[in-house]
Structure 1
Amino acid sequence: MQLIGMMDSPFVRRVAISMAVLGMPFEHRSVSVFRHFDQFRQINPVVKAPTFIDDDGTQLIDSSLILDYLDHCVAPQARLMPQDSAARRRALHFIGFALAACEKSVQIVYERNLRPPEKQHGPWLDRVHTQLAAAYQTLEQGVAGVGAQSWLCGDRLMQPDITVAVAWRFTQHGLPDAIDPGRYPALTALSRRAEALPEFAGAPLE
């Protein structure tokens, strides 16, 4: 199995960490959608990260679709998504808001780094910052309600923990001035706890 993309993408990183937690060996190919566009296009004409290539050559794109497939490659008790309907709904709540935070963070990073200052649209950036803060406020409330000694959906690390922690680390790394960690102590604690795990350390944010 191969995972194509850079670890500075939260979407690539959540897949890499999840595969490590699931005990799935894979080859990681650090190909950038920007710096290596033509090389990436030879692998996947859509040039989308992450791109996952299974052992039979089948390509999957979109981190959530990749993770859904991988979760069904292991025994039910080892899966990273809960099987119980109510617990699964809770997991999807956390994952949805974390992915929204990733999306809004990426939009701000792209606007800042790819557009000249005179072409950046201030009102749109303000709106995206508001959406980003709202996503993290929702997550902060949910994480705080769980307690520092538990994971978000039980007594073991699962997909909502991975995705929330990856999102938070990405925003803090890429946009250190956007979200004050002092206002989100529960998220900060969850991130610190997750990033100390070997599966996270083995997929460092580049």
Structure 2
Amino acid sequence: MQLIGMLDSPYVRRVAISMAVLGLPFEHRNLSVFRHYDEFAKINPVVKAPTFVEDDGTVLIESSLILDHLDHKVAPAQRLMPQDPAARLHALQLVGFALAAMEKAIQQVYERHLRPAERQHEPWVDRVHAQMHAAFAQLEALIANREGWLCGERLMQPDITVAVAWRFTQFMLPEAVDAARYPALAAFSERAETLPEFIATPLD
């Protein structure tokens, strides 16, 4: 199995950490969708990270679809998404808001770091900035006053995705999100980042 993409993408990083937690060996190919476009296109003509290549050559894209596939390569008790319907619904809620925060953070990074200043559209930037904060506010409320992991006694997909979303935003947009505004998220991410699977999969 191969995972294609750089770890500065939160989508790539959530897959890489999840594979480590699941105990699934894989080859990581650290290709950029910008700097290695032609090489990436030979693997996936869409040039989208993450790209996952199964042992039989099947190519998957979109991190959530890749993770769903990987979850079904292990026994139910090892899966990173809960099997109980109520617990799964709660997990999907957490993952959804975390993915929204990631998306809105990435849009700001692209606008601020890749688009020339004279072509930046401030009303749109303000909108995605507000949407990112709305997602983090939802997550803060959902995880505040919780002890342990978010869906039980072990690390699962909501834990990974929430922690990765927060770390990415703090790393790429430190001026945009004050950690003091979201103390539960900051403490949760800090705890997750001390785990071996996170340390072995650094953002930078």
Shorter-chain TM-score tier? over 0.9
Task: Quote the residue 1:144 is aligned against.
Answer: 144
TM-score (norm: length of structure 1): 0.98
Q: Which runs of 5+ in 1 are unaligned?
A: none
Structure 1: how far apart are the matches of 2:107 and 2:116? 15
Q: 1:172 aligns with which of 157, 170, 173?
A: 170
Q: Which runs of 5+ in 2 are unaligned?
A: none
TM-score (norm: length of structure 2): 0.99
> After the TM superposition, which residues 99-114 of structure 1 pair with which residues of structure 2 at under 5 Å, given as runs?
99-114=99-114
Task: Quote the residue 1:130 is aligned against.
Answer: 130
Deviation readout 1:23-68 (Å, 9 max, x if unpaired): 0010000000011111100111000000000111111000000000
Task: Quote the residue 2:29 is aligned against.
Answer: 29
Q: What's the RMSD between the two structures over aligned residues? A: 0.6
Runs of 4+ in 1 over 3 A off after TM superposition: none
Give 1:146 shift.
2.0
Task: Quote the residue 1:82 is aligned against.
Answer: 82
Overall identity of the aligned pairs, in %: 71
Deviation readout 1:111-134 (Å, 9 max, x if unpaired): 011111111000000001100000
Indicate the SS of the match to 1:60. strand
Structure 1 position 186 matched with structure 2 position 184: yes
Q: May I ask how many residue pairs the two structures share in their alignment? A: 204
Task: Quote the residue 1:96 is aligned against.
Answer: 96
Structure 2: how far apart are the matches of 1:106 and 1:37? 19
Task: Quote the residue 1:117 is aligned against.
Answer: 117
1:165 maps to a residue whose letter is A
Structure 2: how far apart are the matches of 1:80 and 1:129? 30
Structure 2: how far apart are the matches of 1:18 and 1:145? 25
Deviation readout 1:63-105 (Å, 9 max, x if unpaired): 0000000001100000000000000000000000000000000
Structure 2: how far apart are the matches of 1:112 and 1:34? 16
